[in-house]
Amino acid sequence: MGRVSGKVAIIAGAGTGVGAACMKIFAAEGAKVVGVGRTRGTLEQALAQARQAGGEGRIVVADLARPEGAAQAVHETIAAYGRVDILVHSAGVGYSWNEKSPGSMADVVNTTPDKWHEVMAINLDACFYLCREVIPHMRKQGGGAIVNVASISGMVGLPVAHTYTAAKGAMINLTRSMCVAYAADGIRANCISPGFIATPMVAPLLNLFDDPSMADRLTPMKRPGTPEEMAYGCLYLASDEASYCNGTVLVIDGGTTARQ
């Protein structure tokens, strides 16, 4: 207990999946958590779980795919707590987004420019906007930790979801570049790269694990990971335990990429 005690953590994409798990786990480990996302209802549920875990926090309803949304999130955090020590960026859309936005998870030929910009704005631009707002405050206070939630899809080629894979690959290299640029300011930038995780984002693919032979092809562990397993990876990278981790890409995929 207390691995991030006394720290202020912005959790982007806090309403569901990995972000919601980070809200609960970071709060239980002593951080004041600020959950940011577009949907008030899910954010309130995540905040309730964080408080049940004994933590303190608040929510900010904002569209992080717009620069003013990121500015609002950081402004409200500073106004409430006076600092920001940790940024966990878990906001994004995945395969389930195709149900709301058909064509958004297609290959290059079948992706329109509008769909490309839509997914890039949510999955990559939002990360840029938030980091751009947070880093000056971290510099001023003498340091901080940024943890971006990328994906193994940003490390290997896929036949579909090309905008998604491009965004996640770019997020990995943006993280590495921030590591190089801001280490002297005491700011560490790392990311996790999850594999198949049981979250709403990849819900359309989870039934593949019902077939034992397919489950074995997807990962040697033959099951999807949990949001909590990803959140503990984020917690480690955000904590002082990872004080020499900078530019790290922590793959948490049950062994999927070990076969690549």
Q: Is 164 a catalytic residue?
A: yes
Rounded distance between C-alpha atoms, residue 209 and residue 190, angstroms: 30
User: Rounded to the nearest 10 degrees, how much is the dihedral formed by the CA atoms of 150, 205, 118, 93?
Assistant: -50
| Cα dist from 210 to 79, 160, 200, 214, 221, whole Å | 48, 22, 17, 8, 13
Q: CB under 8 Å to 198, separation ≥6 — which residues?
A: 206, 224, 225, 226, 227
Question: Of residues 81, 95, 129, 164, which has the active-site annotation?
Answer: 164
Residue ranges of E strands in the chain: 8-12, 32-37, 56-61, 86-89, 144-149, 187-194, 249-252
The CA distance from 97 to 107, in Å, is 15
Q: How far apart are the first and last CA of the chain?
A: 37
Task: Quote the CA–CA distance of 201 and 184 in Å, as a whole number.
Answer: 36
- Residue 208 phi/psi, 5-degree rounding, is -60, -25
Nearby residues of 102 by Cβ (< 8 Å), 6 or more positions away: none
Angle of helix 162-182 relative to helix 113-120, nearest 10 degrees, comes to 40
Residue positions annotated with a catalytic role: 164
